[in-house]
Amino acid sequence: TTTTTTATTTTTTTATTTTTTTATATATAAATAITTTKTTTTEGTRTAMPTTSAMIATVVTTRAATTTTAVPTTTTTTTAEQISCMLFGDPHVVSFDNSRRLRELGATEHPELWTQVIPTYREWNTFMGAGDFWVVRSEAISIQGRYAELGWISGLAVGGSFLNGHKFVVGSSDENGTTWDGFAMSWDGNGVLESFPSDFVVDDLIWVRYVPDRFYQNSISEFHQERNHWRSNTSLRLLEIVLPLGVRISVALGTNVGSSSTRFMDVFITMPFQASGQDGHCGRATGDFSLDWQGSAVATGENLLSGTMPALLSTKASRFSASSIACVEGGELEDNRGPCESVLAATQFGLLFVDACVQDVCSGGQGVLERYDAFAMRAFHEYAAEAQGKQRCFFPIEPQGVGYYWDPICTGGRGVSLGCTADGVHHECRLCGGNGTYAVIGCPGTRRALEPHSSGSVGQRSREIMSVALVS
């Protein structure tokens, strides 16, 4: 909240001018009679001086007095809190309220404390049901998710009055095969983003970029250096969605994970706190930390994810109630703890998600480890990288025209160099943003704004941007 106070000054001036004019007897004789008074005394007779109101004329000019009064004028501008939510895995949810805790952790000046608080913070909400559910439900913003039978997120829909009744949907279906063709995006039921990479824009309503996920690309290069490995030629794809009211959604799309060829989505949502309230699986952002799992099931008449899946398929309590459960690729649940800890240790921040990783690797196979490496890097980027950069980078003079942050990808032989070692001391200190060389590196917390365009139809605008993206 920014409050600006200005003083309005009212000035009134008062001055009094008195002019006295003595008129001569000859000038006023014709109009005024002179009165003479004789006084008899012992000394003789004395004639009094003539007096007349006409002989002395007094002219008085009056103006208002000078007064200065300061009247305070206060202008108050209130910016809504930006709240965040993450849905990942089978699925696990970091609600709006828990995301606040992550930001507090990410901003600490002592990151070594992360490992000390992990036992308290890493029990993220886990839902074992399947069906269509409200992710965010508010007066203006509607976001719904579809959870598959095994729990993985397989669909996402965005609609509501802030999109003027329009709807954007991304879904996964085996009807189109088990590769990238199994993902489909649509706007009001019409297919969009059918090539890769590409962009889709509707002026003042939506901007979607369908691009490679740099975090996952880095993970693949680290895990599988050999060129012939099946994962070395596969990239996790990313949808970056910019919407009105400052709503921003990133959807990481993955396919062919593990031996079961599972497709999945990880969803990152940032939006302004809604004064009229919000609920759903992302929570209420009111500090109560409780989620209404079953109460968030989507009613038939409100379902944005049209299709064959019922609104509620099952409500299993837990698939991982015992540590001796058999995993899809053999072994037991706890066998995956060591590999998960190794993968997530790069930022230390990632260790907050060890328990979720253990569960998901058991149910999805070892390929999920690569996904969690990428996920942990993105979580660090969203919640801690900017604050850690401000605390740990050392610049004699603050960089101008660009941002910077702390990026663990810059170390460890991960094949990244642009913008790294920005302060000349720390490899992890990385430049980003601006209008020059580093514009291709997105700064943490960047909020692209929707801007009006002069183009004609939506289709023309979409094709123009797609062609640019493909050439670049």
Q: Which long-range contacts (CB under 8 A, 24 or more apart) does 41-48 make?
A: none
**197 prior amide bond cis, ω within 30:** yes
Q: What is the pLDDT of residue 241?
A: 96
Q: What is the pLDDT of residue 159?
A: 97
Strands 56-62 and 237-242: unpaired
Lowest mean pLDDT of 61-75, 158-172, 252-266, 437-451, name the range: 61-75
Check residue 400 and give its pLDDT.
Answer: 92
pLDDT for residue 199: 96
Q: Name the percent of the chain lying above pLDDT 90.
A: 32
pTM of structure: 0.73
- As given in the structure block, the two tokens for residue 22 are 């003595």
Q: Residue 283's pLDDT band (boundaries 50, 70, 90)? A: very high
> E strands of 129-217, at which residues?
129-138, 142-147, 153-159, 168-172, 183-187, 190-192, 198-202, 206-212
**What is the pLDDT, as a whole number, of residue 319?**
40
Residue 54 banded pLDDT, cuts 50, 70, 90:
very low
Residue 117, pLDDT score: 57
Q: Provide, rounded to the nearest whole percent, the portion of the chain with pLDDT above 70.
A: 61
Mean pLDDT of the chain: 73
Q: Which parts of 384-457 fold into alpha helices (H)?
A: 385-392
In tens, the pLDDT along 444-457 reads 876 555 543 433 33
List C-alpha distances in Å: 267 to 89, 135, 165, 416: 10, 10, 22, 25
Which residue type does 343 have? V
Distance CA 336, CA 366 (A): 9
Quick check: 220 and 411 in contact, CB under 8 A? no
Task: Give the model confidence (pLDDT) of 371-399 as tens digits.
Answer: 888 888 888 888 889 999 999 999 999 99
pLDDT band (50, 70, 90) for residue 161: very high
Give, in order, the Cα–Cα distances in Å from 408 to each of 370, 377, 411, 429: 16, 8, 6, 9
> Do residues 265 and 154 make contact, with C-beta atoms less than 8 angstroms apart?
yes
Residues pairing with 360 in the sheet: none
Predicted confidence (pLDDT) per residue in 80-103, tens digit:
889 999 998 878 888 998 888 888
Cα separation of the two ends of the chain: 41
Q: Is the pLDDT of residue 3 over 70?
A: no
213 — pLDDT class (breaks 50, 70, 90) = confident
Lowest mean pLDDT, pick from 100-109, 144-153, 203-212: 100-109
Element (H, E) at 316: none
The predicted pLDDT at position 84 comes to 92
What 3-state class would DSSP assign to 223?
Answer: helix
Tell me the pLDDT tens digit for each residue of 98-124: 888 888 877 776 666 666 655 555 556
CA 155 → CA 144, 273, 290, 306, 412, distances in Å?
8, 24, 24, 10, 35
Confidence at residue 237, expressed as pLDDT on a 0 to 100 scale: 86
What is the pLDDT confidence band of residue 202, given thresholds at 50, 70 and 90? very high
Average pLDDT over residues 163-187: 81
